[in-house]
Structure 1
């Protein structure tokens, strides 16, 4: 049996709608082995689909089909540390877990570049699946069914604080509130800030991040789906966050803070409680530069 370790991801990063994403040190694990039928379970008692509609299994099955091989079944054991449907790449982790697991069992028939394209085909966009596979901060563009991507490692003093609401928000639902068209001015606004974000993060110009995460394509529309979202943004900036943005489709709000900021977590926790948001979680994270890994287990 093999064990696949897949990091959570945070996409969009404000202005980089559907093209920027980074991996963080929160992990799902997928144990996988051949079996003559489908056996799927969760080691942490999280309810998961136990049939062929399980996203890990269906992703693995797709890879077998691409190889022209029939899949009778798999034994899959999931450990689900990434909150589901919260904007932290839980579905991408399932897709990558299934593809990498199947590819390993098949003797690595596909390269990582090929897996990037296959994962994007399943997910519909590459901004979560690509950093989940490769780690770091990734710029990824889907063009004519092919993903063009660049990964850069990030080694700096930043911490990421995921502020995770106690309700789910699917990507499908979050996309419904977006307009079909945007102005040329808004598109230009986002292009400049998306470019500024990556360069500023990598060069340590953190004073630019507050401007770089501003967005006019998705965050203003999705903010209405997150009760008290605006207040949490304002409080985070009041606690010296470099930048605050909606992670992926939401509802998780991600704050980027300095490693020396020792007051943020306790002060934000107290503030959430004062708003009656006692069910909201907070996780202190760092950027994962490695991505998905595989090991043999007994």
Structure 2
């Protein structure tokens, strides 16, 4: 069987811990019966041998598999990773979602996406990454009484994502420590109004509103100060024609949305300006996690 989960961009602009979107970059795991347990890893993270021995996927998979099954079978896990690690593209959420999905699929136990989402919440308590990983598309999500409540919007074919991945990470834990302990009422109202406008713009497909709606006063500038080049990435992307350009997750990746016909020009401008960063254009994913037997 094969399980694939898309990358995600969360914390979108003013949507701190609330707004997230799925990208057509995937992590896949192929699981086969085996006489003994084995793990292979290709793509992102393959140069880190410790990931084979201290594998979060295997740990979560075993948690669920041992609860669901009375059998003790061995498997070969073959990982094919496209999602960069520790770059704000939801690699941890992809691991969590794929591990739980795999355990249920191996045992042939039905698992709805809604239930999967709430099971994943035990490992990732911010819904802005796990929700698009499970559901695909653009999502507004919140947690109430240990349950994720969300509304999803499929992304149209005429938009593309331009992804800028710097040559070094920003620690999520360190990044959160840079954020203020308290916010002023003015800043809170600013973010509330802009997050509301950004959500409305996505739902109504008013793409010209994204640039204004994606402004933020809660987290981006504090995190971007750890890598000042990111201010220039944002400025360059918007000047070249992006509809919006925001920090992805806690960074260091920067995420922009553009019309398909403008995306290659924007990518080219960013490549010329930041030749030492990895930059590419990709589609959005509207399906989320997939299980194929």
- Indicate the residue corresponding to 2:90 in structure 1: 89
Alignment partner, residue 267 of structure 1: 269
Query: Equivalent residue of 1:121, what SS?
Result: coil
Counterpart of 2:13 in structure 1 is 14
The change in CA–CA distance for 1:111 and 1:191 in structure 2 (over 3 A counts) is same
Residue matched to 1:80: 81
Matched, 1:241 2:247: no
**d(CA) in 1 for partners of 2:135 and 2:72?**
27
- Which residues of structure 1 form unaligned runs of 5+? none
Q: Quote the offset at 1:202 in angstroms.
A: 3.2
For the residues of structure 1 that align with 2:201 and 2:76, how far apart are their CA atoms? 44
Task: State the TM-score, normalized to the length of structure 2.
Answer: 0.92
In structure 2, distance between residues paired with 1:68 and 1:181: 47
Contact 1:119–1:126 (Cα < 8 Å) also in 2: no
Q: Is contact 2:160–2:282 with CA below 8 Å preserved after alignment?
A: yes
* Segment of structure 1 superposing worse, 246-255 or 188-197: 188-197
Structure 1 residue 144 displacement after superposition: 2.4
- Structure 2 partner of 1:173: 174
Q: Measure, in 2, the Cα distance between the counterparts of 1:56 and 1:173.
A: 24
Provide TM-score, normalisation by structure 1: 0.90
Question: How does 1:32-181 map onto structure 2 within 5 Å?
Answer: 32-35=31-34, 38-44=37-43, 45-47=46-48, 49-51=51-53, 53-67=54-68, 73-181=74-182
State the alpha-carbon separation in 2 of the partners of residues 19 and 292 from structure 1. Answer: 19
Residues 213-243 of structure 1: per-residue CA shift (max 9 Å, x gap): 1111110210111231111111111111111
> 2:287 matched to which residue of 1?
290
Q: Deviations over 1:233-257 (max 9, x none)?
A: 1111111111110001100011111
- The alpha carbon displacement at 1:165 in A equals 0.3
1:267 CA drift (Å): 1.6
Q: Which structure 2 segments of 5+ residues have no match?
A: none
User: Shift of the alpha carbon at 1:67?
Assistant: 3.6
Change (3 A) 1:38 1:135: same
Q: Distance in 2 between matches of 1:152 and 1:63?
A: 30
Secondary structure of the 2:148 match is strand
RMSD, aligned α-carbons: 1.9
Question: What's the CA shift for 1:69?
Answer: 5.2
CA distance in 2, matches of 1:36, 1:182: 56
CA contact (8 A) 2:93 2:124 kept: yes
1:64/1:71 contact within 8 Å kept = no
Equivalent residue pairs, number = 289
CA contact (8 A) 1:160 1:254 kept: yes
Question: Is residue 12–residue 246 contact of structure 2 (8 Å, CA) maintained in 1?
Answer: yes
Corresponding residue for residue 253 of structure 1: 254
